[in-house]
Chains A and B, each alone.
Chain A
Amino acid sequence: MALSFPYLYISCPCASETTLPPVWPYSNRLSRENAEDDDEEDEKTFDPRNPRANYSLYPLEHLLFCEDCRQIRCPRCALEEVLCWYCPSCLFESPSSAVKTEGNRCTRNCFQCPICTSPLSVNALEKPDPRDLSWILSCPYCAWSSLDIGIRFDRPSAIAGQLLRMRNGGQPTLTRKERDGERDRRKRGDTNDAEEEDDHSWKQHKEIEDVDDHFSNIRAFYTDQLAETSASSPFGGNNEFGYGSPGALSRIMGLYSRAGRLSSHRPKDKIRPMREAFGEDEGVKLFDAKGEDEIIERMKSVGWEGTAKLEQQSWQNRDARFLSDLRPVPTLLRTKRARRCRTCRHILTKPESKVASTRYRIRLVALNYVPTMTLKPLVPSPAPPSAAPAVTAAPTPLPPTAPSINLQALPSLIPTQFLLTLHNPLFDPVRVTLATPARTPGRFGSKVTILCPQFDIGANTDMWDEALTDVAAGSSGSEPGPGAKSRGSAAGNQSQPTPGAAAALDAAKRARAAADFDGPVQAEAGKIWDSGRNWTTIVLEVVPANLDEESPSSKPNKSAATNNPGKHDSNPDEPPGETGLEEDEDVLEIPVFVRINYEADISSEDEDGPAADDAVIVRNKRGEKKVKRELAYWCVLGVGRISKIA
Chain B
Amino acid sequence: MPPKAPKSEYIETDTGNKVSRRSIILGTPHIILGGRTAIQTEACLRGDLHRLSSPSTSTSTSAPGGTSVIAPSALIRPPSRLHRGTYTYVAQKIGDHVLVGERAVVEAASIGNHVVIGAGAVLGKFCIIKDGVKVLDGAVLPAGMVVPSGSVVGGRPARIVGEVGEGWGMLPGSEGADLRERIRAIA
Contact = CB atoms under 8 A, between A and B. Distances in A.
Interface of A: 1, 58-64, 86, 88-91, 116-119, 121, 139-142, 334, 339, 349, 355, 358, 360, 363, 365-368, 372, 374, 393-398, 401
A118 B142 contact: yes
B23 to A, nearest CB: 20
B168 interface: yes
* Most B CB within 10 A of own CB, among A62, A116, A368, A396: A396
B124 to A, nearest CB: 7
Contacts of A119: 142, 144-146
A334 B148 contact: yes
Nearest to A398: B182
Nearest to A400: B185
Contacts of A62: 165-167
A91 B145 CA distance: 12
B39 to A, nearest CB: 17
B175 to A, nearest CB: 8
A118 B165 CA distance: 25
Nearest to A360: B166
7 contacts: A61-B166, A61-B168, A62-B165, A88-B160, A117-B159, A119-B145, A394-B181
A307 B67 CA distance: 50
Interface string B130-151: 1110001100101111111111
B146 A88 contact: yes
Contacts of B131: 358
Nearest to B167: A61
A117 B142 CA distance: 10
Nearest to B154: A1
A139 B148 contact: no
A91 B164 contact: no
B166 A397 contact: no
Contact of A367 (B145, B151, B170, B184): B170
A366 B159 CA distance: 29
Interface of B: 124-125, 130-132, 136-137, 140, 142-151, 157-160, 164-168, 170-174, 181-182, 184-185
A156 to B, nearest CB: 14
A398 B172 CA distance: 11
Nearest to A121: B144
Nearest to B174: A61
B146 to A, nearest CB: 5
A334 B185 CA distance: 39
A366 B136 CA distance: 24
Contacts of A368: 170
A60 B166 CA distance: 10
Given A61-B166, A394-B173, 17 more contacts: A60-B167, A60-B174, A61-B167, A61-B174, A86-B148, A88-B160, A90-B146, A91-B146, A118-B142, A119-B144, A121-B143, A141-B124, A360-B166, A365-B167, A394-B181, A396-B181, A398-B185
A366 B170 CA distance: 11
Contacts of A61: 164-168, 170-171, 174
A119 B185 CA distance: 39
A94 to B, nearest CB: 13
Nearest to B149: A358
A396 B167 CA distance: 16
